[in-house]
Amino acid sequence: MPELVFFSGTMDCGKSTLALQIGHNRSARGLQGVIFTRDDRAGEGKLSSRLGLVTDAVEASGRMNLYQYVVGLVSRGGRVDYVIVDEAQFLAPEQVDQLARIVDDLELDVFAFGITTDFRTRLFPGSQRLVELADRIEALQVEALCWCGARATHNARTLGGHMVVEGAQVVVGDVNRPEEEVGYEVLCRRHHQRRMTSASAHAGPLSPDVLPVTQS
């Protein structure tokens, strides 16, 4: 039976890498899918991984009807065997309803990837709706680590290396950015509650570099 599956975790736990892997595995078997993304770090219409991999995707703007987009492709003779959605936390709740309709009406598997809570530990509306509607919720098995070495469970927004707790819910950034820029860091609950980042604790990040992956 087709499913709406929500893969969730903190930043830096391999969500986009898994999304790319699922797409690769299915395309290697001759299947064709649609990849949606929103506000990816690599820019509009891209799905990228911190390992250095990137592929083209459809930018899911806030006004896009995802169900109608897929129906339109099929109506024009296109083939769609599955749907992948990265950065699904940025979707509007009604767009998550559209993903569920893709599963139920078109009988396609939909794999959504996203973080559950924002830098204030509040649920993203898109993630909340996915928790409410998903047939299955999968926690990513690759554990991101806080600077102290404990399992990271919370996302922190940083400015000048220090944690901030006010501002717009969505500000595009990434981990391992220069301290003077707006960036993000994953922390354990203890250090998130204490607003203690690696910079404020004078601790270096555990893994500052991505793997040396070269695309051919």
- Catalytic residues, by residue number, are 87
Read off the amino acid at residue 138.
E
Per-residue tokens: 74: 């099929």
Residues in the chain: 216
- Please report, for residues 110, 112, 167, the alpha-carbon distance to residue 37 in angstroms, rounded to integers and kept in the order given: 13, 10, 23
Read off the amino acid at residue 188.
C
Q: Which of 99, 164, 162 is nearest to 134 (CA)?
A: 99
- Pairing mode, strands 162-164 and 46-48: unpaired
